[in-house]
């Protein structure tokens, strides 16, 4: 039976709408920090949970997820003790997240909440949303030519006669359908006020001058109240978005009209060359196909930083009236925000970098305006920042520790000698994977799966992992020890289960367990050299698994944990797994909550240790 972990896809636009900052109780206390019922509910509802849809599992599911969330907080506390928050990487992360949440608060407070929609505007938008226009058009980039065509039409020459002699006829074998919200508001105002058979005056657009003719106007029949409500909601959203856009331009003009910001062209050109070189080298090394994105990752960031002398890195690349941005900081921010390109030529990289620089300046100005007003101290900003920063600290420390786990050849040989004539091979699994860097594609894939579309079809369309593209996302039967985080999660799944998204360094992964083969015994007694690589891989997997469990239990003993079962049991949650995207004010998007894979194995070790304490 098909078991889909993720069903409901949510779009969250403003943090202020999803959190009510009233007095709340804590579900758990972990050393000097705590997990509030608000944070627990938000994270639980927006994180994949095995078996969440099954009745009778609610209490167990919430408790297991709480153990995972406690593990995150324990590692974050240890990271703070290790002063990882003072490293350059984490300082960059903190600043980037803080400014993003501050910008979002500015947008809520000064733009979105300032929107006023009249009854007349609602009524007109609802009417237009229920009407489809079918049009033909004439187009020219030359104003004199379009004026001549307009004069011909006014003289009575049929529209179809002129269209028949126009190159755009090929695109209009059937009239073009236009729905409300599809075009610029000014153009729509003209078109929706035309009657059937009428044509517009020449309209200037970025593509050239258009003359539209209304071929037909069709009113949509809404069959029930639900369809009417959906139509009204969509119409209002379009009006809201347009008014927000208008207020944004007004806000930006009023606040920053006299602000002068200058980028150093010489440093930008130099950075362009370095970006081009490292990304081109990466593309060649990975044999990237034409048209595929090439991403700036930490390794490339380090290479670029290493190229420049200290004095150059400390040079000013963007000069604000106060607190200018150094080249070093700009490179780090570029790495954090993400930079990708499909063509590595210097000209293409320069064009892309130029756009990113303008965007950076705009967002930096808005963030500084919000910081000047003290929005970084607002409860919802601080809450979101802490939640995400804890998650990053947790990830950073776990990666730091697990990367140091090694298995020597001597350890492998000692194990080889100890197993005598039998060797137990680990669980092998065949998983299908869809790897993408796009949250929008994650959303689309999850919706398609929920609608019953085959996972394999979607993998053909969207999977970006080069090593599995040829097999439509399938890995083939592979030892769990060689699949890393995907293997750890897949080992908890039943055949047919789908789980995701899982946050990986290379993007977001959605996996399906296609097959698995239980542990088996090999008594062929192969030579050590034949077995060495496999034994080292298996031992490392087991070593990392034991380490994470044992170390998390150690941290729980060290810092202390206290779970409020009454508060936990009193939290009302849904039985549906959800995935959310949070669209930030002034641009940008993140998952609605930090993604967190199951990590509750440590709790048994913790209780065992605790019971042994005097």
Residue with tokens 């080249």: 327
Q: What is the pLDDT of residue 19?
A: 42
CB atoms within 10 A of CB 163: 17
By DSSP bridging, strand 497-504 and strand 3-4 are parallel
Tokens standing for 280?
Answer: 């081109």
- Kindly state the average pLDDT of the residues 361-366: 96
Q: What is the pLDDT of residue 16?
A: 43
Q: How confident is the model at residue 1 (pLDDT cuts 50, 70, 90)?
A: very low
Q: Is residue 464 part of a domain?
A: yes
pLDDT over 70 (residue 424)? no
Q: Is residue 239 part of a domain?
A: no
441 and 396 part of one domain: no
Tokens standing for 156?
Answer: 């009575």
- Kindly state the average pLDDT of the residues 412-431: 72
- Distance in angstroms (rounded) separating the CA atoms of residues 15 and 18: 5
pLDDT over 70 (residue 10)? no
Q: For 505, phi and psi rounded to 5 degrees?
A: -55, -30
Q: Is residue 426 part of a domain?
A: yes
Q: CATH number of the domain at 496, please.
A: 3.10.50.40
Of the three residues 161, 188, 219, the one that is the final residue of a domain is 219
336 and 416 part of one domain: no
- Distance in angstroms (rounded) separating the CA atoms of residues 152 and 185: 27
Q: Which distant-in-sequence residues (6+ apart) come within 8 Å of 477 by Cβ? A: 428, 429, 430, 515, 517
* pLDDT single digits (tens) 577-605: 888 889 999 988 899 999 998 999 999 99
pLDDT over 60 (residue 413)? yes
Q: What DSSP element (H or E) covers 166?
A: none
Dihedral of CA atoms 151, 152, 157, 159 in degrees, nearest 10, equals -80
Q: Mean pLDDT lowest for which of 28-32, 33-37, 230-234, 292-296?
A: 292-296
Task: Choose among 202, 104, 102: nearest CA to 153.
Answer: 202
Burial 296-323 (b: 16+ CB within 10 A, else e): bbeebbeebbeebeeeebebbbbebeee
Of the three residues 163, 191, 219, the one that is the final residue of a domain is 219
Q: Is residue 1 part of a domain?
A: no
Of the three residues 186, 219, 252, the one that is the final residue of a domain is 219
- Distance in angstroms (rounded) separating the CA atoms of residues 281 and 287: 10
83 and 146 part of one domain: no
551 and 419 part of one domain: yes
Q: Is residue 320 part of a domain?
A: yes
Reported pTM: 0.84
Q: Is residue 202 part of a domain?
A: yes
Burial 376-401 (b: 16+ CB within 10 A, else e): bebebbebbbebbbbbbbbbbbbeee
390 and 280 part of one domain: no
339 and 433 part of one domain: no
Q: How confident is the model at residue 186 (pLDDT cuts 50, 70, 90)?
A: very high
Q: How many domains, the chain? A: 4
pLDDT over 80 (residue 24)? no
Better-predicted residue by pLDDT, 51 or 21: 51
Coil vs helix vs strand at 422: coil
Better-predicted residue by pLDDT, 57 or 277: 277
- Distance in angstroms (rounded) separating the CA atoms of residues 516 and 496: 11
For residues 396 and 90, the answer to whether their CB atoms sit within 8 Å is yes
Q: Is residue 562 part of a domain?
A: no
Coil vs helix vs strand at 614: coil
28 and 143 part of one domain: no
Q: What is the pLDDT of residue 52?
A: 80
Tokens standing for 229?
Answer: 């409500």
Task: Choose among 161, 45, 53, 171: nearest CA to 575.
Answer: 53
Q: For 500, phi and psi rounded to 5 degrees?
A: 150, 175
347 and 482 part of one domain: no
Q: What is the pLDDT of residue 57?
A: 81
481 and 593 part of one domain: no
- Kindly state the average pLDDT of the residues 189-213: 95
Q: Could you give the angle at which helices 265-285 and 298-307 cross, rounded to 10 degrees? A: 130
Q: How confident is the model at residue 420 (pLDDT cuts 50, 70, 90)?
A: low
What range defines the domain where residue 81 resides? 8-105+378-403+567-612
Tokens standing for 406?
Answer: 């090694």
Q: What is the pLDDT of residue 33?
A: 96
Q: Is 79 exposed, middle or buried (0-12, 13-18, 19+ CB in 10 A)?
A: buried
- Kindly state the average pLDDT of the residues 561-570: 95
Q: Is 33 exposed, middle or buried (0-12, 13-18, 19+ CB in 10 A)?
A: middle
186 and 299 part of one domain: no
- Kindly state the average pLDDT of the residues 353-375: 96
Q: Is residue 236 part of a domain?
A: no
Q: Mean pLDDT lowest for which of 82-96, 264-278, 510-524?
A: 510-524
DSSP state string for 277-318: HHHHHHHHHTTPPTT--EE--HHHHHHHHHHS-HHHHTSEEE
Q: What is the pLDDT of residue 469?
A: 86
479 and 502 part of one domain: yes
The rounded radius of gyration (Å) of the Cα atoms in the chain is: 29
Q: What is the pLDDT of residue 62?
A: 93
369 and 386 part of one domain: no
Categorise residue 217: left if φ over 0, alpha if ψ from -120 to 50, beta otherwise.
beta
* pLDDT single digits (tens) 151-185: 999 999 999 999 999 999 888 989 999 999 999 99
Better-predicted residue by pLDDT, 517 or 82: 82
* pLDDT single digits (tens) 111-141: 999 999 999 999 999 999 999 999 999 999 9
């Amino acid at each position: 039976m098909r078991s889909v972990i993720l069903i409901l896809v949510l779009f969250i636009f403003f943090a202020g709408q999803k959190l009510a900052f009233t007095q709340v109780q804590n579900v758990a206390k972990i050393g000097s920090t705590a997990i509030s019922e608000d944070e627990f509910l938000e994270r639980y509802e927006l994180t994949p949970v095995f078996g969440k849809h099954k009745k009778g599992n609610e209490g167990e599911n919430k408790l297991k997820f709480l153990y995972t969330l406690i593990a995150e907080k324990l590692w974050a506390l240890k990271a703070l003790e290790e002063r990882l928050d003072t490293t350059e990487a984490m300082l960059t992360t903190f600043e980037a997240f803080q400014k993003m949440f501050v910008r979002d608060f500015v947008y809520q407070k000064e733009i979105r909440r300032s929107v006023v929609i009249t009854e007349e505007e609602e009524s007109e938008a609802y009417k237009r949303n229920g009407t489809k226009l079918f049009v033909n058009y004439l187009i020219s980039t030359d104003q004199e030519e379009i004026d001549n065509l307009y004069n011909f039409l006014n003289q009575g020459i049929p529209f179809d006669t002129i269209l028949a002699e126009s190159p755009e006829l090929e695109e209009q074998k059937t009239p073009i359908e236009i729905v409300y919200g599809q075009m610029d508001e000014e153009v729509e105002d003209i078109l929706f006020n035309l009657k059937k058979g009428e044509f517009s005056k020449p309209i200037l657009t970025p593509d050239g001058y258009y003359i539209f003719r209304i071929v037909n106007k069709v009113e949509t029949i809404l069959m029930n109240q639900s369809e009417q409500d959906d139509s009204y909601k969509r119409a209002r959203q379009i009006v809201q978005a347009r008014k927000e856009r208008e207020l944004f331009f007004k806000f930006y003009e009023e606040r920053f009209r006299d602000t002068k910001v200058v980028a150093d062209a010489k440093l930008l050109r130099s950075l362009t060359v370095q970006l081009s070189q490292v990304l081109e080298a990466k593309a060649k090394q990975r044999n990237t196909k034409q048209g595929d994105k090439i991403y700036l990752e930490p390794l490339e960031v380090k290479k670029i930083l290493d190229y420049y002398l200290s004095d150059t890195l400390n040079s000013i690349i963007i000069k604000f009236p106060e607190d200018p941005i150094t080249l070093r900081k700009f490179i780090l921010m570029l790495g954090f925000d993400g930079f990708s390109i499909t063509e590595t030529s210097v000209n293409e990289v320069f064009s892309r970098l130029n756009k990113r620089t303008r965007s950076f300046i705009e967002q930096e100005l808005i963030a500084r305006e919000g910081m000047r007003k003290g929005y970084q101290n607002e409860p919802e900003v601080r809450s979101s920042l802490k939640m995400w920063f804890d998650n990053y600290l947790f990830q950073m420390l776990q990666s730091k520790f697990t990367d140091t786990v090694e298995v020597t050849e001597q350890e492998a040989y000692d194990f080889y000698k100890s197993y005598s004539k039998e060797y137990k091979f680990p669980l092998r699994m065949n998983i299908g994977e869809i790897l993408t860097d796009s949250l929008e594609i994650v959303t689309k894939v999850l919706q398609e799966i929920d609608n019953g579309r085959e996972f394999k079809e979607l993998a053909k369309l969207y999977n970006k992992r080069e090593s599995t593209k040829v097999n439509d996302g399938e890995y083939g039967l592979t030892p769990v020890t060689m699949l890393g985080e995907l293997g750890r999660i897949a080992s908890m799944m039943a055949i047919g289960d789908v789980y995701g998204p899982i946050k990986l360094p290379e993007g977001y992964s959605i996996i399906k367990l296609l097959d698995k083969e239980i542990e088996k015994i090999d008594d062929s007694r192969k030579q050590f050299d034949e077995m060495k690589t496999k034994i080292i891989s298996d031992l490392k997997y087991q070593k990392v698994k034991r380490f994470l469990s044992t170390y998390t239990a150690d941290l729980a003993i060290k810092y202390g944990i206290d779970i409020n079962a009454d508060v936990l049991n009193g939290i009302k949650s849904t039985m549906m797994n959800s995935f959310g995207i949070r669209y930030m004010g002034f641009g940008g998007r993140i998952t609605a909550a930090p993604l967190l894979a199951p990590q509750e194995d440590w709790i048994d070790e913790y209780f065992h240790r605790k019971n042994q304490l005097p």
